[in-house]
Amino acid sequence: MKRFAYIIFLTFFSLTVKAQSSGNISQKNIQELVDSGIYFGTIPFIKETLYSSGAGVDAALNEFIDEIVSHVGLRQFSALSIDVLERSRASTLRYVLAKKYFNKGDYNSALSILDGLERQGKDLAPFISHMKASALAILKKSEEAARYYDECARQAEKVLGSGGHTVLRKRQLVTLRDSCIVGIARMQFASAKFDKSILSYLDLQKKSPIWPEILFEEAWASFYTRDFNRTLGKLVTYKAPVLDYIFNPEIEVLSALTYLEMCLFDDAKKSADNFYTKYQRGYLGLLNLIGSMKSDYRSYYALIKQKDKVSFDPLIIKLLNDIWRDPATQELFQQIEAGKHELTPIKAIGNAKLKIMTARNLKDSLILQRDIIGRYVKKRLVYHARLLDRSFEDMSYIKLEILSKMKGQILGINGERARGDIKFLERNEKQYFWTFNGEFWADELGDYVFALKSECGNEVAKN
């Protein structure tokens, strides 16, 4: 495996850093490093200051911390303990602290910290509202959560309007805004207000980066209103070539379940069979990959870096491409690339001891960033493996039900069965009709609806 480029960059210091540690430096030194554009090289100094501060750090240092975090990302500090994070009033570290409580399941503590941040972290405002909404949603406070999702969407739009954002930052804000728009629909769905949720989902623009994934949620909302034809229409959209990159095995599961609800057993069985053909081999390969790499984050980092050169099952390649496109992955790589350029200002440091310590810090911080990326790649692969596992379990029950129904079905249809009629369609004020001609068009994606009649004896389908 090739050594990482940034280690080569640090060979200038290799003979002198062996006995050095990060050590304590003055706040003036930290300011000089930050003013020189050295952020990754400053991280261990900041962490050492936090560990040794005891009662806390002063306001000036908190400002430096916020500036450093804005360049290196929150994850560089996410491993700090709650006790250490409590010592800083920097808005970014308070946000990390709230997220730490959130991930522990202590949502009330997270909300308490976020309440204080609303007056302090203006740049974090939409992210704060999003986390508050998420915590309230988990606490079953749907109406309050919906209010914060709405606030989050408005705040993100305001920040976007201020301009001056990088392409990656703009995409991050757009994704956050749209996630909050969808959050409102999700709260309505959770409250069993399915018709309202369907209308709210339609507020999300098709150009949104999250729109393709949200179609699946819309399909479920239609399923719960027993509008099975519209569920199938949402799901068939994923067959469009432009959406070929989407990975969601539950699409086939919901498709089979919908056909089953309509007593269209042949179609249900076909969906189930396609599911096993599509995922079974790749699923086993994914489990083997995760099992062989264990927690070797360096190997996961190399895997995503060399994704175009490795030979795996097409499903695994698809997952790696999906992870690579993830804005979080792109941000992590952008940060590590920016960190590699810090060697130039480090060479210009006049204080020899400070130069050596900062160079060592840069190396350590970039190795940590590499492991952060590797850990994130593993996390995403494990998530996909669990999603597949759950989907296989769900599909196995559906397939048994299909076989049971087919076995007891009495064949009473003579001649060729006619399928599809506009009389079986229903729509609301945000839904329109097109006639499908076998081609997928951008303006029609997500608006397809089947026109199948239920073959259940008691007409359980909405038609």
Q: What is the DSSP letter of 206?
A: T
For 108-134, b/e burial (b = at least 16 CB within 10 A) is ebbbebbeebeebbeebbbbbbbbbbb
* Mean pLDDT across the chain: 88
Q: How far apart are CA 158 and CA 160, in angstroms?
A: 5
Q: How far apart are CA 347 and CA 355, in angstroms?
A: 7
- Residue 25's pLDDT band (cuts 50, 70, 90): confident
Give the list of residues 6+ apart from residue 47 with CB closer than 8 angstroms, or none. 22, 77, 80
Q: How far apart are CA 273 and CA 262, in angstroms?
A: 18
Q: How far is CA 294 from CA 199, 280, 300, 321, 379, in A?
A: 44, 21, 9, 21, 11
Q: Are 6 and 367 in contact (CB under 8 A)?
A: no
233-246 per-position pLDDT tens digit:
999 999 999 999 99
96-132 per-position pLDDT tens digit:
999 999 999 999 999 999 999 977 767 799 999 999 9
Question: What's at 10, amino acid-wise?
Answer: L
Per-residue confidence (pLDDT) for residue 445, from 0 to 100: 65
Q: How far apart are CA 328 and CA 334, in angstroms?
A: 10
pTM of the complete model: 0.86
439-454 per-position pLDDT tens digit:
444 546 657 888 899 9
- Does 432 have pLDDT greater than 90? no
- Residue 459's pLDDT band (cuts 50, 70, 90): very low
Average pLDDT over residues 252-264: 97
- Does 416 have pLDDT greater than 50? no
Cβ-based neighbour number of residue 364 at 10 Å = 16
Q: Are 123 and 160 in contact (CB under 8 A)?
A: no
Q: How far apart are CA 17 and CA 38, in angstroms?
A: 18
Average pLDDT over residues 148-166: 94
- Name the percent of the chain in helix, strand, coil, to the closest 5: 70, 0, 30
- Residue 338's pLDDT band (cuts 50, 70, 90): very high
Q: Which of 122, 135, 130, 124 is nearest to 150 (CA)?
A: 130
Q: Are 65 and 88 in contact (CB under 8 A)?
A: yes
- Residue 155's pLDDT band (cuts 50, 70, 90): very high
Q: How far apart are CA 446 and CA 27, in angstroms?
A: 56
Lowest mean pLDDT among 126-140, 142-156, 250-264, 405-419: 405-419
Output the CA torsion sign for 259, 262, 267, 268. positive
Which value, to the nearest 10 degrees, does the dihedral of the CA atoms of residues 255, 314, 286, 219 take?
-20
281-295 per-position pLDDT tens digit:
999 999 999 999 999
Q: What is the DSSP letter of 55?
A: T
